Structure 1
Amino acid sequence: MTHSAIKAGSLFPSTVVTGVEGEAVDISQISENADWRMVIVYRGKHCPLCTKYLNLLETYKERFAKNGVEIVAVSADSKEQLEIHLPALEISFPIYHGLSIEQMKALGVYISDPRSEKETDHAFAEPGLFVINEKGKVQLLDISNGPFSRPDLAVLAGGLEFIKAPENDYPIRGTHQ
């Protein structure tokens, strides 16, 4: 398998997925309530570590929001799988479903097949985190090939506060050609 990650500094691709109410949403678009967006790609309802991470992320939501960073989450789960998962999620940020294999490839996340029908019934994305700046560019990203490696949210929140502080004039890193 070849793997190609999205590049730091590139435009985050238009990625239309489906909301809980059935609405089509482009997760690349930052709302009027923020100037940056954090997109969390999670494995799906079958992953207890994803549930734990999303619930922990909720406890940082206000800190990110005070810094102008909104949060959204998305998986390849079906509408039914997301609806079953919702009661275990203690989150108030938007969550979406229906991420396709083509979209996963465009984002550069790792894709796994289920180990058995007990896990899930479809290929799914491994964890990915993308921070999109006000220009629609990928300012920061983290992808993993398994659920055991994810960014520390306290470090991430502090890092974004540093990056966004005008006096730091912090560039997008990792763009050397």
Structure 2
Amino acid sequence: MVYSNKLKAGDDFPHISAVLLDDNEVVLGKPQGDATWQAVFVYRGKHCPLCTKYLNELEGYKQAFADAGVDILAVSADSKAQLETHLEKLEVSFPIAYGLSEEQMKTLGVYISLPRSEQETDHNFAEPGLFVVNEFGKLHVVDISNNPFVRPELGALSRGLAWIRDPDNHYPIRGTLDYNLA
């Protein structure tokens, strides 16, 4: 039996970078602007119509995330050319990075799929993952799926992050008990 390396809540988020369309490198989990947290949305790629729909829906929650002090970044294993083509169907203003390597996918602990055909895509790709990194570089929220049909509902997620970020709630990172030691 082979075990995968899944990031756990409370872990230090690994140093992983990808490339933006302007050829600048971006570090995943490092918020931009006034935000102190970042939500990193790993998506399958341009071949996935559910990803296109989800990213377009995410645009509608961008302000709610910003109001909670959470920056948004999306990333896939697509090439620059694939992302440029995908942008024809995307109506988003948040940054999208490309070029996530298989080694980086393994470091993140996302599920990796083989393409069903060359018509689908020309590379192995990540299944959806969400990593919310706090101001200390710790993984505060994690959601990993093995298929495109299961992803966090964005309204509940944005409201939940606003609640977590409210200092009056004193909400800690959840799910940190190591059951191997308990």
TM-score bucket (shorter structure) = over 0.9
CA distance in 2, matches of 1:110, 1:4: 10
Normalised to the residue count of structure 2, the TM-score between the two structures is 0.95
Aligned to 2:75: 74
Mapping for residues 23-172 of structure 1, pairs under 5 Å: 23-172=24-173
Q: CA deviation at 1:4?
A: 2.2
Which whole-Å deviations, capped at 9, do the CAs of 1:38-96 have from their partners, x for residues lacking one? Answer: 00000000000000000000000001101100100000000110011011110000000
Classify the secondary structure of the residue corresponding to 2:157. helix
CA distance in 2, matches of 1:174, 1:23: 35
Segment of structure 1 superposing worse, 16-25 or 144-153: 16-25
Which whole-Å deviations, capped at 9, do the CAs of 1:77-119 have from their partners, x for residues lacking one? Answer: 0011001101111000000000001100010100000000010
Q: CA deviation at 1:2?
A: 2.8
Instruction: Indicate the RMSD between aligned Cα atoms, in angstroms.
Output: 0.9
Normalised to the residue count of structure 1, the TM-score between the two structures is 0.98
Q: CA deviation at 1:32?
A: 3.6
Is 1:15 matched up with 2:16? yes
Q: CA deviation at 1:135?
A: 0.5
CA distance in 1, matches of 2:124, 2:55: 20
Sequence identity percentage: 59
- Give the aligned residue type for 1:8: A
Moved over 4 A (4+): none
CA distance in 2, matches of 1:84, 1:94: 15
CA distance in 1, matches of 2:70, 2:111: 25
Gaps of 5+ in 2: none
State the number of aligned residues: 177
